A and B are shown apart, each in its own frame.
Chain A
Amino acid sequence: MKCEEVEKGLIAYLDRRASSSERRDVEEHLASCAACQTRAEEFRKVWSVLDEMPAVEPTFGFDARVRQRVAAEPRRGWFDWFVPQVRLALSAALLIALTVWIAKRPPSHPGTTGTTATTSAPQQQDFNAIENLGVLENFDVVTKMDALSDLAPAGAQEPDKTQPNDGTTND
């Protein structure tokens, strides 16, 4: 094994994570190469020096700030519980259903809709009142025509008028 080939196995050898074959290869090389042996020893010392790096602790209130940011996250509605693909499919289905419903709806005519019907009822009443306006204006005259009550009802005379047309008498 050459020095360049030790490169990949040396770190794993030093931190005792090398496989048995890897370890054997490195050990064989180190036994015959003073330079790599020195390097391996210095790597160990460097690791020891790196231990001097002090650790830091999160400042007071770190947890509170995280919780605050988490609490500020928008909560999910029922629709958000679906995975995105299902949400998209559901939206597309609703859109298609709405389109079909609008397309199949019968065309509306003026006056047939609920709004038109509600507004036309008072108009119809006004129209009837105008139609009978003449009678209403002469209401007193009409009520004083007692003579009219003596007359036989127009409907009662009808059979007499129609009798000659019966066919039996004309013969």
Chain B
Amino acid sequence: MARSDVQMMLDVKAGDDASFDFLLQKYRSPLVNFLNRMVRDTATAEDLAQEVFLRVYRARKQYTPSAKFTTWLFRIATNLALNSVRDNRYQRMGISLNAPLDGEDSAPMELPSREMRIDEHMVERDRAEIIRRAIASLPEKQRAAVLLHKYEEMDYGEIAGILDCSEGALKSLLFRAYETLRVQLAPLVAQPVAHRAGGRRPS
């Protein structure tokens, strides 16, 4: 029987480093993706993700399973990301590294599929950049709410716990965020493409 994340964290607390390794393997990609979309810089996102895991490890002795493990994990990640964005240092770096049409995408692991033609890849990359910019234009809390709702598929209670707000306030937050995205992404909605790269929530 598979152990739950909470059980594994309790094992980490008891001194089992293998369980920590398992949690690292399981959550490194979701964390790096979430942080990358929050701060818009892959190197910074990786630094922050490392910091998240380090904080989890440091806090293992005080860990009590009062909430879902992911709520705790993403709360640490969200706080770090919000601090980083508000600090503005990484944001400025992100704009310079992720400037549109500068001939180089900052995400080294985003590889086009083999069957995709060059022009299709360019179209998809441009569309991805527009989406990235639209998400980045959202206020920080709305951005975090959309990322946790759309890409991490968390329920409202969990997201509200991470963002430290009520479920009602979260629903209003999400509505306003999607309303902004609806306007900003209207050109892409009008011209859908055949290829779909990622995203996990079925729509």
Residues of B with C-beta under 8 A to A49: 127, 131, 185, 188-189, 192
Q: List the A residue with the shortest CB-CB distance to B153.
A: A15
Looking at chain A's contact residues, is the secondary structure mostly helix, strand, loop, or mixed? helix
User: In the complex, A96→B188 CA distance in Å?
Assistant: 73
Residues of A with C-beta under 8 A to B165: none
The residues in B between 15 and 44 inclusive whose CB is less than 8 angstroms from any CB of A are 17, 20-21, 24-25, 28-29, 32-33, 36-37, 42
Q: Is A48 an interface residue, CB under 8 A from the partner?
A: yes
Number of interface residues, chain B, beta carbon within 8 A = 58
When the two chains form their complex, are residues A51 and B49 in contact, meaning their CB atoms are under 8 A apart?
no
Residues of A with C-beta under 8 A to B198: 51-55
Q: Which of B53, B110, B174 contacts A56 (CB 8 A)?
A: B110
* Shortest Cβ gap from B184 to chain A (Å): 9
- The answer to whether residues A50 and B199 also contact, given A12-B171, A42-B189, A57-B32 and a CB cut-off of 8 A, is yes
Q: Is A10 an interface residue, CB under 8 A from the partner?
A: yes
Q: Is B57 an interface residue, CB under 8 A from the partner?
A: yes
User: In the complex, A47→B151 CA distance in Å?
Assistant: 10
When the two chains form their complex, are residues B201 and A70 in contact, meaning their CB atoms are under 8 A apart?
no
Q: Which of A47, A66, A73 contacts B203 (CB 8 A)?
A: A47
When the two chains form their complex, are residues A52 and B128 in contact, meaning their CB atoms are under 8 A apart?
yes
Which residues does A use to contact B, with CB under 8 Å? 7-12, 15, 17, 39, 42-59, 62-63, 65-67, 69-70, 73, 76
Which residues does B use to contact A, with CB under 8 Å? 17, 20-21, 24-25, 28-29, 32-33, 36-37, 42, 45-46, 49-50, 53-54, 57-58, 61, 107-110, 124, 127-128, 131-132, 135, 149-151, 155-156, 168, 171-172, 174-175, 178-179, 181-182, 185-186, 188-189, 192-193, 195-199, 201, 203
